Amino acid sequence: MRYRLRRDLNDKDITQAVKVAGFTVLDFCKAGESIPDKLAVRSLHDGTEFVCWLEIKSAAGKLSEGQKAFRDIWQPRGEWIEARDPEDTVKQLNELYQAKIRPEHWR
């Protein structure tokens, strides 16, 4: 069964805030199969890329079982955020990015 593509009302605001914070945003909304809505990317000091999946949800939105499975894989790696608010999303994203550029991660 195919579902009609619906973007959450906060999608545009979150995407814009993440871009202003210096991240490139790749849109995966049409991918389906419980793949998160966006992928935020930013270069690290060593030339590799920091990536973080963003599952955009409205204030009352709930994760599907497939989205929970995706979260369970990527969140422990510091590469997944449930994005509900632009400012909070940028704060979380910057914290994860900063954790990746600390010297203990330069091995």
Question: What is the band of 38 on the pLDDT scale with cuts at 50, 70, 90?
Answer: very high
Q: Give the C-alpha separation, 13 to 95, whole Å.
A: 20
Query: Which residues are CB-contacts of 80 (< 8 A; sequence separation ≥ 6)?
Result: 36, 52, 53, 54, 55, 70, 71, 73, 74
What was the pLDDT predicted at 102? 73
Residue 107 has pLDDT above 90, yes or no: no
Domains of the chain, first to last: 11-102 (3.40.1350.10)
